[in-house]
Every structure is written in structure tokens, then in C-alpha cells.
């Protein structure tokens, strides 16, 4: 833990017959040397972020035969939320060796690519960082076979057994001795136990060798083989595809830029999802809707899922289940949890999925502002008999319920709340950052995590409605994106896609725009998100933010507040995308 690498390895048993690669038959899982790896990093992007800790265990036949652990000085400041998450501080990393010192030692520990199989939970993340580090140091990364415990778990464990495939969930399921803690070696030890539990499960599938494990992963079902012909005559064009059962009911709706190529993948070994294989078994036909643009295909997919609610689609089926936080319409408003989009976005926050997220966001508001939380309506008559609650005693509420706070005074708090969401989010951001730093210095990491979570859920939800409202308020927005020598156009009205069109070899830009105006749907102004679902608006926003998109025509103002919620997200690395380039900062 002082930055010096620790590596201990016992003598390996003699007379072990090694096979070179996965392609060689007969390499039994119990005779295979696995090196289980876990990393801690400064962020989620290999090449942009850096490694802060490496942990690994070398195991064979159920026994640990080597262990490696080292902190790594990333050479860059450590984001506060990483310290909160992992407990690793900059003070711990300052004396640690740099990656150019640690990586050679780690590669030596890994051993030969012909003998070692690398294992990680969500392997693309860890291996991606290791490859990026090797590339930066001009090392050639060895071609180790790689196993991902997430992928194996998806194949051998059902949703009845585990609710998801996170390491913590699998650790609880297999009752591992070490629990994951977001520290490399602890997470490695938990992953080793999970790996052994999965290998035991593989035995029930008749999987005992690496070759059998590869074949197991690449297997296709009889239904996949028998129904490949359903994808034969589909067009190689953008659009929506719909898997249907014998009754003609939609089972699954998807979209692709190339319908033929995408649907074919459902009938290959690469499709390993249990529910999709089950769906293919009862599929009798596949319909498709060709669209002029990929954006229109995505919107049509979304609308079809929300309308038909196909049972094999997981996302977007129940948009009405998300919640919003909004102010009540009364003399002394309070923030309440509601279903359904608010007609007035002023003072509203959302959408928010998940009960815990809603409660955390609401708690962050009440921690920052002394808004009343009691439910009774405040009237001149109620004030005479009301009694203040505990919030008044701890200075978290001015007690308007007993007439202790005037309407004018309370209105100032409401104005500050709206200003926070619509103009300047920095005060809450700074307050939360300071609180997390103070608690981290006192090593009260659990409390710091609670502050971080409350702030993060509120910031995300506040930023979401700010983004959505930026185009949902516009009467008309026409955008264009170049596709080779052609142009793709989209007409958006109050956040709803009204039409798309594309230039061809025989049509000019002006002709395409004229046709777009003629075919565009009429969308009345019925209030915020009353004529479109928020998911469609967010889909269009992602398109607007993609490379090359240009603004052709606008009726209204497309902008974000300079210091609004979106401006503060980057400070906490809450978004993986680059700062928004598509909007004018106002």
C-alpha cells in the first residue's frame, strides 16, 4: 500500500502438459493457469484515463499459486469521486511507482501467452486499459486468451438466480470469502471465487476443457439453424425489423442501418442471449419497415415498442413508470414525486427511473433548500391550529404552516430553487464537492458516498430536463447531416420528429427541403412533452450532438444556461460524452 509492488509466487508443479491455444483439444480447465486481473483507474476511458492500482491472482486447479498488487502513480490529479468510491487518495499514490515501472513487472508475473489465460469481470474494461498502457510504452501486448466472468455468468446463471451480473451480486450468490470493495486485490479475490463457482456450473453443461468452453460459447440452437431463411430476403437498407409469432403479434422490435446484415446476426453463434434464443424459437415471420434515414428508423422503433410493448424488448416499454419531481400549485409550494410529464417544465426535475434515485434526488433538494415537506394545504384557518414539525426545530424549514414565514419570504426560496435549476447550479455543486472533500479527509467514506449519490442523482435529473427542454420548447427545428455526397434532413417540432428526407443523385438540397416541409407532420403546442415521449427527445438530442450535424432552420432559441446543471456534470465525470458542442451557451 506504499506504492511498492508486491509479488509472491510459489513453485509451480512439474510435469504439467501445456497446450498452446484454445484451438488445441484436451486442455482441462482444472489444469489451466488462470490469471485473474482487476484494475482501479482515474476514469472509464482507456487512453484518456490512467491506472491507479493493479491486482492479480494466478490460480490453477482451484489453488492460488501467485499474487500481485501495486498502486500506480497516474501522474494526473485524482478525481474526488474516485477517492470516495475506492478510498484511494492522492497521498497514497504520490510515492507509488509509475506505470512504466509496474507494467514490466506485471507482464513478467503474467507469464507466457501460451500458458496463461487472463480472466476479468467485464474483461474489455481491464484489458482495454492494460493494452492502452502497453501501447503508450511501446510494448507489444501478448495475445493472451481472455475469459470474461460476466459473459460466462450470463450463459450459466438465470435471472431467477441472480438479478444482474455485477460482481457484488455474483459474490453474494457464490458466498465468496472476500467481498468486492472497489480495491483491486479484494475484487480479484472475489472474482477468483466467482470463477471457481462458474467452472463448477459449467460441469453440468458438460464443459470441462477450454476447447469445450469455446464451443459452448459459439453454439447455435436448432431454432437458429432452422429459421435462418427468415433473414434471406430482407433489404440492405436502414429501417425497423419486427419479429412476430404465429399469431402475428410483435415479439421483438429493433432497428439497423442495414436490416439484412443485422437480422442475420440473430441466427449466428454470436447471439448468446437466452431470451433472444427463446424468442427465435417461437418466431414465425420477420417484417421490416424501410425508412429514408437511420434517425427515422430509431424513432419508429421507439414508437413501435411503446405501442405494441413486445415482450422480448426490455427498454422503452413503460415510459409512464418514470417519475418527475415538480412543484405543487399552491401558496407555499413543495416538491413532490409525480408520474407523467409536467406541462410546465419550470421547477420540474426528471425523468428519474428507480425509487432510490428519486428519493436521493429529493433528499439533495431538501438538504440544500429549506422547502417545506409537510402535505397539508396551508390556509389562514389551518395556521391557527397547526403545530411545527421537527424540521423547524433543526432549521430546515421556516414553518409557514404556523404563520412563522411570510409568503414573500417563502417565494424567495422558490425563486432560488428555480434559479438553481434554470440559471446557476454552481452553489449546490460547490457545496456538495466541499462536503465530500471534508468527509473524505476525515475518512468518513460511507458518508461521503451518500453525499455524492444524492448530488449525482439530482444533477443527472436536473441536467436531463434542461437538455430535453432545449428542443422540446422549439416550434420548429430543421437539422442536416452529410452522408457521403448526400445530405440527411430532419424536421423536429416541439421535440417530436415530424419528418426526415435525404438528397439523392436526382434531387437538390432545396428540393429535399421543400419535400420535407410538405411531408412533415403537424404538431400542435399542447405543453411540455404532451405530444412526444421524453425518450424520443433524448434520441434526437444524441443525433444533434453527433459529428457533422448542422442547424438549417430554427424557430426559437436553442441554448443551455452557462452555469446550469449540464455545465456542472463534467466536474464529477457524470457523463462519458465530450462537452456538448451542438448548442450555443447563453
182 in catalytic set: yes
Distance of CA 60 to the CA centre of its chain: 34
Nearest Cα neighbor of 464 from 322, 316, 320, 339 is 322
Of these residues, 28, 182, 196, 366, which one is catalytic? 182
Q: HEC profile for 144-180? A: CCEEEHHHHHHHHCCCCCCCCCCHHHHHHHHCCCCCC
**Cβ atoms within 10 Å of 334's Cβ, excluding its own:** 16
496 forms beta bridges with 493
Distances (CA, A) of 48 to 45, 76, 128, 129, 404: 5, 11, 11, 10, 54
Nearest alpha carbon to residue 254 among 245, 272, 242: 242
550 φ/ψ angles, rounded to the nearest 5 degrees: -125, 145
- Reference 542, options 553, 552, 530, 534; nearest CA is 534
Angle subtended by helix axes 534-544 and 445-472, to nearest 10: 90
Do 535 and 497 touch, CB atoms closer than 8 A? Answer: no
Contact (CB, 8 A) for 320 and 349: no
| DSSP single-letter state for residue 400 | G
d(CA 573, CA 576): 7
Measured distance CA(500)–CA(492) in Å, rounded: 9
Calpha distance 13→537 (Å, rounded): 61
Q: Which three cell numbers stand for residue 421?
A: 435549476
Angle in degrees, CA 314, 316, 322, rounded to 5: 110
Please answer whether residues 360 and 457 qualify as being in contact, where contact means their C-beta atoms are separated by less than 8 angstroms.
yes
The CA distance from 298 to 255, in Å, is 6
Q: Catalytic residue positions?
A: 182
Amino acid at each position: 500500500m506504499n506504492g511498492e509492488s508486491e509479488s509472491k509466487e510459489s513453485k509451480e508443479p512439474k510435469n504439467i502438459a501445456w497446450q498452446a491455444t484454445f484451438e488445441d483439444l484436451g486442455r482441462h480447465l482444472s489444469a489451466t493457469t488462470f490469471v485473474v486481473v482487476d484494475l482501479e483507474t482515474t476514469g472509464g476511458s482507456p487512453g484518456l484515463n490512467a491506472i491507479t492500482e493493479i491486482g492479480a491472482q494466478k490460480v490453477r486447479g482451484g489453488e492460488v499459486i501467485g499474487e500481485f498488487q501495486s498502486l500506480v502513480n497516474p501522474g494526473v490529479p485524482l478525481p474526488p469521486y474516485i477517492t470516495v468510491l475506492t478510498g484511494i487518495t492522492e497521498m497514497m499514490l504520490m510515492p507509488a511507482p509509475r506505470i512504466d515501472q509496474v507494467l514490466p513487472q506485471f507482464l513478467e508475473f503474467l507469464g507466457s501467452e501460451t500458458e496463461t489465460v487472463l480472466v476479468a469481470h467485464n474483461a474489455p474494461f481491464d484489458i482495454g486499459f492494460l493494452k492502452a498502457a502497453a501501447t503508450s510504452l511501446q510494448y507489444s501486448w501478448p495475445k493472451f486468451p481472455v475469459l470474461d466472468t460476466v459473459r460466462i455468468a450470463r450463459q450459466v446463471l438465470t435471472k431467477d438466480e441472480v438479478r444482474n451480473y455485477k460482481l457484488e451480486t455474483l459474490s453474494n450468490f457464490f458466498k465468496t470469502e472476500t467481498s468486492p470493495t472497489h480495491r483491486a486485490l479484494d475484487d480479484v479475490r472475489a472474482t477468483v471465487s466467482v470463477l471457481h463457482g462458474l467452472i463448477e456450473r459449467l460441469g453440468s453443461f458438460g464443459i470441462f476443457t477450454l476447447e469445450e468452453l469455446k464451443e459452448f460459447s459459439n453454439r447455435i440452437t436448432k431454432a437458429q439453424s432452422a429459421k435462418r431463411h427468415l433473414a434471406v430476403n430482407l433489404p440492405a437498407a436502414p429501417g425497423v425489423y419486427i419479429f412476430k409469432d404465429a399469431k402475428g403479434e410483435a415479439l421483438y422490435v429493433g432497428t439497423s442501418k442495414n436490416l439484412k446484415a443485422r437480422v442475420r446476426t440473430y441466427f449466428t453463434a454470436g447471439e448468446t442471449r437466452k431470451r433472444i434464443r427463446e424468442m427465435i424459437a417461437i418466431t414465425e415471420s420477420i417484417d421490416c419497415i424501410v425508412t429514408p434515414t437511420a434517425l427515422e428508423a430509431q424513432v419508429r422503433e421507439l414508437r413501435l415498442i411503446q405501442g405494441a410493448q413486445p415482450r422480448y424488448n426490455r427498454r422503452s416499454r413503460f415510459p409512464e413508470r418514470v417519475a418527475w419531481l415538480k412543484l405543487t400549485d399552491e401558496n407555499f409550494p413543495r416538491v413532490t414525486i409525480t408520474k407523467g410529464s409536467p406541462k410546465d417544465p419550470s421547477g420540474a426535475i426528471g425523468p428519474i427511473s428507480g425509487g432510490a434515485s428519486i428519493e436521493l434526488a429529493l433528499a439533495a433538494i431538501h438538504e440544500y433548500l429549506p422547502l417545506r415537506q409537510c402535505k397539508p394545504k396551508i390556509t389562514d384557518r389551518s395556521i391557527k391550529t397547526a403545530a411545527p414539525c421537527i424540521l423547524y426545530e433543526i432549521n430546515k424549514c421556516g414553518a409557514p404552516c404556523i404563520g412563522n414565514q411570510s409568503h414573500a419570504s417563502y417565494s424567495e426560496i422558490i425563486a432560488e430553487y428555480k434559479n438553481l435549476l434554470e440559471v446557476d447550479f454552481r452553489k449546490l455543486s460547490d457545496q456538495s464537492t466541499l462536503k465530500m472533500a471534508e468527509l473524505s479527509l476525515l475518512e468518513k467514506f460511507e458518508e461521503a458516498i451518500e453525499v455524492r449519490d444524492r448530488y449525482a442523482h439530482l444533477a443527472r435529473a436536473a441536467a436531463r430536463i434542461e437538455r430535453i427542454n432545449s428542443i422540446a420548447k422549439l416550434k420548429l427545428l430543421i437539422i442536416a447531416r452529410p452522408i457521403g455526397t448526400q445530405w440527411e434532413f430532419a424536421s423536429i417540432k416541439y421535440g417530436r420528429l415530424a419528418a426526415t428526407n435525404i438528397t439523392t443523385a436526382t434531387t437538390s438540397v432545396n428540393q429535399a427541403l421543400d419535400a420535407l416541409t410538405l411531408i412533415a407532420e403537424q404538431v400542435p403546442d399542447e405543453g411540455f412533452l404532451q405530444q412526444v415521449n421524453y425518450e424520443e427527445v433524448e434520441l434526437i438530442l444524441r443525433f444533434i450532438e453527433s459529428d457533422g450535424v448542422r442547424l438549417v432552420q430554427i424557430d426559437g432559441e436553442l441554448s443551455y444556461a452557462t452555469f446550469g446543471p449540464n455545465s456542472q456534470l463534467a466536474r464529477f465525470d457524470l457523463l462519458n460524452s465530450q462537452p456538448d458542442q451542438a448548442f450555443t451557451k447563453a
